[in-house]
Structure 1
Amino acid sequence: MVENRRRSEEPLHCLVTGASGYIGGRLVPELLAAGHRVRCMARSPGKLRDHPWAGDVDTVRGDVQDAESVAAALRGIDVAYYLVHSGSGAGFEAADRRAAEIFAAQADACGVQRIVYLGGLTPRGIPESSISPHLRSRAEVGHVFLDGPVPATVLRAAVVIGSGSASFEMLRYLTERLPVMVTPSWVHTRTQPIGVRDVLRYLVGSATMTDEVDRAFDIGGPEVLTYREMMCRYAAVAGLPRRLIVPVPVLTPRLSSHWVGLVTPVPAALARPLTESLRYEVVCSEHDIATYVPDLPGRPLPFDEALSLALRRVREAQVATRWSSASAPGAPSDPLPTDPDWAGGSLYQDERLSPVDASGEALWRVVEGIGGENGWYSFPLAWAVRGWLDRFVGGVGLRRGRRDTERLRVGDSLDFWRVEEIEPGRLLRLRAEMRLPGLAWLEMWVETDPQGGTRYRQRALFHPRGLLGHVYWWLVLPFHALVFGGMTRNITLAAVKGAPARVNEARAVRIRGDRRTRRTSQR
């Protein structure tokens, strides 16, 4: 019998299943920050190698349907986090139930002290047999753990607000892409959304609950909102125009899922169980979790603040981790490399790669010398017209040039761009400061190919803002081959010919001549 005590005095050895998923990937660094040791179980451990915490955890291969691999993963574990769901497909409810039973039995055999499970909030006053298969399966898994021999904490949440959460991404795409929405009647259904930071705080705090705690907890934010109210609030926080929402009661859950699949990139297989569940009012009936994981000042986060955190990366005009090779995100609300492609909002990109018959140093001189008098190496008239149009609508245009003729540093203005990141000899990332219905970046990379040669990689990225942003991208797309394709060709050609060096030498001679002229006139 495990001693009945609160385990906050010493680090715990925690197992996280589903570490490649939305919540699991964000829970691991929180557990590490709390001083616990972490083991991750995944069917494909290679999916975890790009996480910044990969070197700080023990990763094992395992499948929750395989009792032997589950037992191997649970040996020596104090607290096991179960964050796995089948989600859809024929027989998924039976598969989820069988996996939970295997996990509960093996946890008991291995001496695990607690199982922590994150499930879904279920509607009150409706028999579980009558609710959607998605919610019913979540509830059944929770019952398996609560009825088992190992003390369990079952957390039940509704919509989780954070970049990468399927429910949040559906909200994001519907609101951003449709200024006028014909929606199903479920937009009037009440729910109690919760920020991902609070979900993680409750998950981490559950590890140190006393052994007699063996129950479910409802977790939610401080506000009860309809889906319509959430969409309107999202538009306000994101700076979008007011949305016109017209409910249509004839849309069945199946038709709703197809409609969501048409409007958003959320897969229909995922949209279907989500939309089916949106028919039910899911509101917390208690807040007992605060007895064991006390609320902090201002927590749980209000809806608008949770939204602002979920949109933080875009608002600060930084390229999100999933979209670039920048450093890992610094907050639970940020995207992760393992998030699905449709998570994190839309990002259009034009990427080009070209071998260069020149040294990396020669290519970098061209890249760092771009803009100003050297121009942009493609279709000068197009760049000039874009600059004139930008000035016409109140933007900066191309008149700023560059601070230094040869060197760039972070924060420098460069025509209608600004240097956001520079890694000498390797990367130049520019953020657009022209007037646009969205955010744009231009990346230029100097790379070494597997054979040791030099290659040039160029990416133009655009994060649209509202429907106008999407329209803008598709309108300018036909010109990309001319502008960005020509830019790639001419930059590589300039590196081969050493053009920037000669241009800079000529400019230096001219500058020295101008200085002599000024000194002579002063005499």
Structure 2
Amino acid sequence: MSSADGTGPQRITDEARPRPRVLVTGATGYIGGRLIPALLAAGLPVRAMARHADRLDGRPWRDDVEVVEADVQDRDSLEQALTGVDVAYYLIHMMGGGRSFADRDRAGAQAFAAAAERAGVRRIVYLGGIHPENETLSTHMASRQEVGEILLAGAVPTVVLRAAVILGSGSASFEVMRYLAERLPVMVAPRWISNRIQPIAVRDVLHYLVGAALLEGEHNRTLDIAGPDVLTYAELLQAYARAAGLRRRRIQPVPVLTPRLASHWIGLVTPVPTGIAQPLVESLIHESVASDDSVRGLIPDPDGGLTGVDRAIELALTRIRNLDVETAWHSASPAGAPSAPLAEDPDWSGGITRGDTRSRHVDASPATLWSVIEGIGGKNGWYSWRLGWVARGLMDRLVGGPGLRRGRRHPHRLTVGEALDWWRVERLEPGRLLRLRAEMRVPGRAWLELRVESADDGGAVLHQRAVYHPRGLLGDLYWWAVWPFHGIVFGGMQRNIARAAETAAARGGTSSVS
């Protein structure tokens, strides 16, 4: 789409798209770490910039990009990073440290704009925040606005994309919402919890960021990007509760809870650091609703349209619903699941997950150890505290669960999908891995994994892992109530499985569970 004189903005098309060379600053950050695989998927050559290049080691895309070590406060390193680049993404937002983050944000943006001009960069893309016009902004939002204005005033044409709350596991604003909804069935909140916001799924943010690099012509302007739903923050908390299977949260707004007090409260009841929570909470005093949708005339909507709030939250919960225990409980495909957490996300992101992990060397062959593992449950028992196991089974039956009555179908062999007492075989790799999903009545979701690994001395290593994702405050309280018994239950299980395998090896065969 263009203006009548032909000089207006042009919509990108599928034909003859340019393939500019791009630089991504903030490559170790939340958006940067997800944007890089999206750019690669679009066929763009990528240079990733980080202050410490070794922090990018181990990323699945590390060998597909050029990595440069640079700092926006270091003119020489910054110019070298920008040399030969067509489009530069400025995804740096400074918080914490000596000088105020607003001062450092300002200095960083000025240095980047000047270095980009000297290096001949054709376009800068910056991700800022949606805010109302003609209002006194919080320090956090005012700084983000100032950075956008500095870049727009520079010699290099800049596209400033402004977003409200970004919905995706690992996003600081999403994590604050997640922990509040999960841990507080009743909460006292500031009055501005009734302010309207227009959240956007992280997958749609990435779509617009990639599209900004592919725009034809010169553009020096601000574009609001937002999802299809406008709702209050309180309604967003309720939407999360629905998606997570929680009861409706009871929220009581009060006039006396200032942003500073609210941020300290969030720091107390969630693992999100107060230094991160405070600027985010301060930003909620403003409504964050897109003022126009002109971006849709420049960058086509994603295939299937923009992602609604309910679907975006469901995608962010993929970590729990499609657990990948091969690598880590928080692992996800960067290109295929940007809404899920990545290994490099902060420790406080990804929701609450409790666990008990143990490893033990076993003086038996991997095959012998596996035969014992595959025979677990039913009449064979669970190699653990028998009285406690039976008592837990009876309690489960009293509340309508399966207890231990289902047993197992075959005394020595298992198949994926079959019941095993109060468990369900979720994954089975013969000789290597057994993963069970709990179907007992608990306020959350639980898994038990037993994995066999060959040892250098001809023996085996037994890796045992119990993982629990609590549902709400009751789920967390349940975990801590049973935690004192974990050493007896899980420690005894691993110890007795190992002994059974060693006994079987000494006899030259396999053994039943006692």
One fold, TM greater than 0.5?
yes
Deviations 1:25-53 (A, max 9, x none): 11112111111122211223333333322
Aligned twin of 2:198: 192
Aligned twin of 1:95: 104
CA drift at 1:146: 0.8
Aligned partner of residue 137 in structure 1, secondary structure: helix
Q: Tell me if the contact between 1:429 and 1:442 (Cα under 8 Å) persists in the aligned partners.
A: yes
Aligned partner of residue 323 in structure 1, secondary structure: coil
Q: Does 1:112 align with 2:121?
A: yes
Give the fraction of aligned pairs with identical amino acids, expressed as a percent.
57
Aligned twin of 2:132: 123
**Structure 2 regions of 5+ residues with no counterpart?**
1-8
CA drift at 1:502: 7.2
Equivalent residue runs for 1:210-289 within 5 Å: 210-289=216-295
Q: Tell me if the contact between 1:151 and 1:211 (Cα under 8 Å) persists in the aligned partners.
A: no
Aligned twin of 1:514: none
Q: Does 1:435 align with 2:444?
A: no
Aligned twin of 1:167: 173
Which stretches of structure 1, 4 residues or longer, exceed 6 Å deviation after superposition?
A: 4-7, 325-329, 449-453, 499-503
Deviations 1:253-302 (A, max 9, x none): 11111111111111111001111111112221111111111224753222
Deviations 1:329-377 (A, max 9, x none): 8311111111111111100111122233333333333333322333211
CA drift at 1:438: 0.8
**Is the alpha carbon distance of 1:49 and 1:365 closer, same or farther for their aligned partners in structure 2, counting shifts above 3 Å?**
farther
**Structure 1 regions of 5+ residues with no counterpart?**
508-523
Aligned twin of 1:22: 30
CA distance in 1, matches of 2:313, 2:291: 24
Q: 2:148 aligns with which of 137, 142, 146?
A: 142
With 447-456 and 223-232 compared, the bigger mean Cα shift is at 447-456
**Is the alpha carbon distance of 1:506 and 1:125 closer, same or farther for their aligned partners in structure 2, counting shifts above 3 Å?**
closer
Aligned twin of 1:421: 427
Q: Does 1:70 align with 2:78?
A: yes
**Is the alpha carbon distance of 1:326 and 1:426 closer, same or farther for their aligned partners in structure 2, counting shifts above 3 Å?**
farther
- The amino acid that maps onto 1:117 is Y
**Is the alpha carbon distance of 1:59 and 1:495 closer, same or farther for their aligned partners in structure 2, counting shifts above 3 Å?**
farther
| Count of paired positions | 501
Aligned twin of 2:347: 341
CA drift at 1:476: 0.7
CA drift at 1:472: 0.8
Q: Tell me if the contact between 1:87 and 1:134 (Cα under 8 Å) persists in the aligned partners.
A: no
CA distance in 2, matches of 1:188, 1:450: 61
Aligned twin of 1:49: 57
Aligned partner of residue 463 in structure 1, secondary structure: strand
CA distance in 1, matches of 2:512, 2:216: 76
Judging by fraction of residues, say which structure has more helix: 1
Q: Tell me if the contact between 2:160 and 2:222 (Cα under 8 Å) persists in the aligned partners.
A: yes
Q: 2:360 aligns with which of 354, 359, 362?
A: 354
Aligned twin of 1:82: 90
Aligned partner of residue 248 in structure 2, secondary structure: coil
CA distance in 1, matches of 2:511, 2:501: 15
**Is the alpha carbon distance of 1:360 and 1:74 closer, same or farther for their aligned partners in structure 2, counting shifts above 3 Å?**
farther
**Is the alpha carbon distance of 1:359 and 1:452 closer, same or farther for their aligned partners in structure 2, counting shifts above 3 Å?**
closer
- The amino acid that maps onto 1:291 is G
CA drift at 1:321: 6.8
When normalised by structure 1's length, the TM-score is 0.89
Q: Tell me if the contact between 2:198 and 2:290 (Cα under 8 Å) persists in the aligned partners.
A: yes
Q: Tell me if the contact between 1:12 and 1:37 (Cα under 8 Å) persists in the aligned partners.
A: yes
**Is the alpha carbon distance of 1:324 and 1:299 closer, same or farther for their aligned partners in structure 2, counting shifts above 3 Å?**
closer
What is the RMSD of the two structures over their aligned residues, measured on CA atoms?
2.6
Aligned twin of 2:371: 365
Deviations 1:93-123 (A, max 9, x none): 1211222222222222222221111111122
When normalised by structure 2's length, the TM-score is 0.90
Q: Does 1:31 align with 2:39?
A: yes
Equivalent residue runs for 1:460-471 within 5 Å: 460-471=466-477
**Is the alpha carbon distance of 1:265 and 1:222 closer, same or farther for their aligned partners in structure 2, counting shifts above 3 Å?**
same
With 313-322 and 297-306 compared, the bigger mean Cα shift is at 313-322
- The amino acid that maps onto 2:482 is V
